[in-house]
Amino acid sequence: MLVSLKEMLQEAEKNNFAIASINTPNQISLRAVIQAAEDTGMPVTINHAQTEQSVVPIDIAVPLMLDYAKKSTAAISVHVDHGYDFEHCMKAVRLGCTSIMYDCSRFPLEKNIEEVKRFVEIVKPLGIGVEAELGAMPNNMPSDVHGQETSDLSDLSVYYTDPDEAALFCERTGVDVLTTSFGTVHGMYAGEPNLDIERIRKIKSQAGQVHLGMHGGSGTPFDQIQQAIDAGIKKINYFTAIDTAPAPYLLKTIQESKNPVNFCNLANQAMEIIYQKTVEILTVFKNAGR
Ligand code: 13P
């Protein structure tokens, strides 16, 4: 069933778990992620990122995502991940996305606030949730598929979110979800992950009713993920570890096959691996039984 991210987050706050926010830029991952949500009973946000336009344009992806969400027995919301342009985000509104990340974190604080505030004023009356980012997410993607430049990862603290600025940002924009930076990396970590959990607690205590998001979930040790949930993070973006999981297995299948390899068989194998990886991460995000 199609459920708003906001409803899911209220449930997550009440029961101290995190909503997985997973990019599904093809039908293999879309089906696998939804199946994992159904089998674990966990709500999931399926994403289309603006950088995935070259893989599948939003006007093709979102109608399909909405159709799968509506037919699923799991609670699924359909979300735009890192929408950088106002026009792109407005297109997502017209297509029926239940929430949108309008990412203006590349701008100075005041312009980030102004842009996000304007967007919130337009889409909130339509019942659409808005996520924004403050601080910056460093990038270290495994390939240039997403067209993102690799960041300098020598000192992640230069990207961190300031708790005072977070409080100001939330008060002035009225945003529903604030993504903050406290040591995670989009893609792969360069060194040992070491999240600034105390920073999450400070942001949570200063930023009012906003829900806190964490990006760059892949590669983060599970105990640190659960500490982040306990400290206030309730939406976690997780993609690279899922998207890269099938490749080694597919390579082995191709190398060991004595016959030409059927693409449909590879697709089915990839779907099973993505499913298993998603079940694993949803179980961590459930944050239960510790
Ligand atoms: P990872 O690919 O590092 O898990 O991050 C995903 C993400 O934050 C998408 O916005």
Question: In this structure, what DSSP letter does residue 186 have?
Answer: E
Nearest CA to ligand 1 atom 5: 216
- Give residue 137's pLDDT: 85
From the alpha carbon of 82, which atom of ligand 1 is closest?
Answer: 10
Assign 3-class secondary structure to 110-143: HHHHHHHHHHHHHHHHHCCEEEEEECCCCEECCC
Looking at the domain that runs over 5-286, which CATH code has it been given?
Answer: 3.20.20.70
- Which of 105, 238, 278, 280 best tests ligand 1's pocket when mutated (most atoms within 8 Å of CB)? 238
Q: Is the CB of 240 under 6 A from ligand 1?
A: yes
Q: What DSSP assignment string belongs to 154-177? A: S-GGGGPPPHHHHHHHHHHH--SE
CB distance 277 to ligand 1 below 6 Å: no
pLDDT at 143 (0 to 100): 61
This prediction's pTM: 0.96
Single out the residue of 153, 157, 161 nearest to residue 191, CA to CA: 153
What is the residue type of 188? M
Q: Which two tokens stand for residue 41?
A: 């009973």
Count Cβ atoms within 10 A of the Cβ of residue 152 and give its class: 0-12 exposed, 13-18 middle, 19 or more buried: exposed
Shortest CA distance to 2 belongs to which of 49, 44, 31?
44
Q: Where are the beta strands (DSSP E) in 199-269?
A: 211-214, 233-237
- Is the CB of residue 121 less than 8 Å from the CB of residue 87? no
Gyration radius of the chain's alpha carbons: 18
- The pLDDT assigned to 32 comes to 98
Spans in the chain with pLDDT lower than 70: 143-148, 290
Residue type, 238: Y
Tokens coding 268: 């089915």
Give the domain ranges of the chain.
5-286
Helix-, strand-, coil-residue percentages of the chain, each rounded to 5: 50, 15, 35
pLDDT value, residue 148: 65
